[in-house]
Each structure stands twice: as structure tokens, then as C-alpha cells.
Amino acid sequence: MLVSSNNNAIIYQIFKSFSSGGNVKKNGTYFVVIILLLACILPGCGKGQKEGQQAPVVEVVNVIQKDVPIYYEWVGTTDGFVNATIRAQVQGYLIKQNYTEGDFVKKGQLLFEIDPRLFQAALDQAKASLAGAEARWTAAKADLTRVKPLAAQNAVSQKTLDDSIGTEQSSAASVLSAKANVEKAALDLNFTKVVSLIDGIAGIAKTQVGDLVGPGSVEELTTVSTVDPIKVYINMSEQEYLKASEVKDRDVEKMSLELILSDGNIYPHQGRFFLADRQVDVKTGTIKIGAIFKNPTRLLRPGQFAKVKVAVTTKKDALLVPQRAVTELQGSYQVAVVGPDNKVDIRPVKATYRVGTLWVIEEGLKPGERVIAEGIQKVRQGIPVNPKPFGAEAKPKPEAPAKAEKKSADPSKNEKR
């Protein structure tokens, strides 16, 4: 308990009056009188201090009422419209890389070369086998041509005719098999030249010259992605998806999506919804939605993070307050309202949408009411406050220019005396 200086002086005089020659009279009556005097003085001190206590200063803002567009906003990830993983279809040693990593490549452009010598030899062997099969087929056809007239004249047995027919057909099948082997060997030789299957940006190579690549070893060589247009995937909550399903397909197609890049800049091209995944993720309760954006300058690359924003509706006569004026507690929201008598009324409100730095309040406020935006932690229900406009700062008074003093080169002479 605090005691003022005047009260201290009074108490001192009381003790002095009961003292004589340094000896205090130890009489119970005197102490009772002292206690009664203290009981009268100290409450008066506390009362005076309480009456002098000032109301806390808070900053208030008026509730705004106007029509506002309601936006939905999600964090998305960019991905190529087509991502082609380039793999080696034959096994061999990589002998050459023919593209610059990160450059734009055309469909059919040569990217890698695998040592072709084994495959060239296999092709030559297959061609030789084909030539032998064709020679045997030619001989079998000639033999059958000779046997048929003889069999018609019963000069040879029926078995001889059947054997000639079987030999000719078997030779023909051998030719077909040899041709297939030649085509396969030619394809394998062609696969030693690894080309891009699409137009796009080629990524960093996953292998180096000299690596053994192909099935069973290093298969992925690089990836080529088509980035114009580019896809942006977002995870939409199940509740948002159900609300969106109520919108007609034509209206969804007309929705223009805005892309906000990680540096805060707005992407110059607007996008549209492109696809929805077949299922909701049971772990997160979200469904993956794909949007598509034009990317002529190839500024966007797969793997970037960005915000996707879309205006879904316009809220008529919405009541708006700053987000900092709204306190959230266990899923409920409340604001501190300053009444005409400058007393605080803490009310529960229903906050629904966020519009920039503002909350849209559905219930609990009226247009023009004042809510505390700064200093809400200093107030409680029913106390008076000293409201000031939110964001208004007292401007410092201009100070008179200080007189220039001539200083000596000697620092000791510049010290204040």
C-alpha cells in the first residue's frame, strides 16, 4: 500500500508527540490511537489515488459498410502441362550429350547418344540371317514348283509333295522371323540416339558421359516439360469444393483466376480451372484442383509456389473491420466496441470472409460503430476508455534549431563545465 509524503509527515509527528527524551511511552491507549489515525489516513490516500487514475488510451475505427467482392485464395504449385521423362530404352555406355541443360528443345531433337557399335553388329547379323532365310525360301519354292507337276502325274508320292509344301511354308515363316529380327535390331540401333518426344524445357541431366545407362541401370536421363501453357495445382477443402459444385459449369468456365507470385507481384496472364482429381484425400480432407495459365515468356517453371485467387461472389452491404480488431478464441470471434459514453462493450461476432486486411462481419455489429483496433489488451467489459482515431500519431512539435557552437580543435576544451 502506498502512502503519500504528507501522510508520512503526519505519522512522524504522531510518533514524535508520544516520545519524550528518546523514550516512547508504551501505553496501550497510545497505540490504539495511532492505529485509528492510520486507519483514517491510509484509506484516504488510496481513495485519492484511485480517483486520479486515468482511462486507458485506445485507438478505434468505425465499422465500414460497402459492397465487396469475396475472394477465395489458395497456395498452389506450378507443374508442366506435359512432363516427359527421358529414359534409355537400350543398355549401353553414354558417349555424348547434345543439348544444353535448361534450354528449350524441339520434338525430335537429339539429346544423348549411346555407344552404337554392339547394336550395329546385331543389325548386321540380323540382316545376314534374313538373307539366309530368303535363300532357303527361294530354294523351297523352286523345289515345290518341280514336284507339283510330278505329283499330278503320280510320278512322285503324295508324301514328297507334302514335304515340299511344308518346307516352302517353313522357309517363308523363317523369312518373316528374320525380317522381324532386322526391324528390332534397327530399332535398338535407333534407340542409341535419345531424342526429345515433345517441345519443352529440358532439365538438368541425371547422368554423365561414360555412365552405363538403360534398363537395369540408370534409366532416367532427364525430363522435358511443356510450360506454355503451365498448370497450377491447388488443394481445395471439401467444404469449398461442395460450394463450388453448386456453381454452374458455364460460370466456372468464366471465372478468371489471378496468380500472385512468391515475390508479391501479380502474374500478367489470367487463368482458368482445368481439372479436378478423381478423389478427396482422406488424410487432409482436400481435393486437388488444376488450373491452367498461359506462359509465353516461360517465366513460370515447374515447382514454383504461388497464390491462386478468384472472385466467387459480391457481398452486398458488408460490414468490415480490420483483422487486428477481431480476437479469436477457441474458434469464436469477438470485438471490443466503444459506446457513445466511451465505455467498452466486448461482443461476440460472426466473422466469415477476409478481404485484404479486413474481416467481413455477418452478425454482432452495426454500421458506424467504433471498435478498438489498438490497445484491446488493456480493456475489459464496461470500463471507460480514451478513444483516439486508429493510425493517428501525434506529430512532434518542431524544435528550435540549435545554436551552432564553435568547437575547438582541442577536445578537452569542448567538455561542459
Q: Which three cell numbers stand for residue 345?
A: 462493450
Q: CB-based burial of residue 392 (10 Å sphere; 0-12 exposed, 13-18 middle, 19+ buried)?
A: exposed
From 1.10.10.10, 2.40.30.170, 3.40.50.2300, 1.20.1050.10, which CATH number describes the 225-313 domain?
2.40.30.170
Cell numbers of 80, please? 508442366
Cα 298 to chain center, whole Å?
20
Task: Give the model's pLDDT for residue 110.
Answer: 95
The pTM of the full predicted model, rounded to 2 decimals, is 0.61
Helical pair 5-17 and 28-51, crossing angle rounded to 10 deg: 170
Query: Three-state DSSP class for 67?
Result: strand
**Kind plus residue range of the DSSP H or E element containing 193:** strand 193-195
Looking at residue 248, its pLDDT comes to 60
Which pLDDT score, from 0 to 100, does residue 230 have? Answer: 94
All structural domains of the chain with their residue ranges? 5-51, 59-65+316-389, 84-221, 225-313
Q: How far apart are CA 372 and CA 393, in angstroms?
A: 16
**79 vs 293: CA distance, rounded Å:** 11
**84-221 CATH:** 2.40.50.100
Cell numbers of 100, please?
A: 544444353
pLDDT tens sequence for the chain (417 residues): 444 444 555 555 555 555 544 444 445 555 545 555 555 555 444 444 344 468 889 999 999 888 888 778 899 999 999 999 999 999 999 999 999 999 999 999 999 999 999 999 999 999 999 999 999 999 999 988 888 888 888 888 888 888 889 999 999 999 999 999 999 999 999 999 999 999 999 999 999 999 999 887 777 899 999 999 999 999 998 888 887 776 665 566 678 899 999 988 999 999 998 888 999 999 989 999 999 999 999 999 999 999 998 877 778 888 999 988 999 888 789 999 999 999 999 999 998 878 878 888 988 899 989 999 998 888 889 899 999 998 743 344 444 444 444 444 444 444 443
What pLDDT does residue 251 have? Answer: 63
Give the Cα separation of 77 and 69 in Å (integer). 25
Residue 79: per-residue pLDDT: 94
E strands of 282-394, at which residues?
286-293, 305-322, 327-329, 332-338, 344-355, 358-363, 370-374, 386-389
| 338 and 386 Cβ atoms separated by less than 8 Å | no
- 59-65+316-389 has which fold? 2.40.420
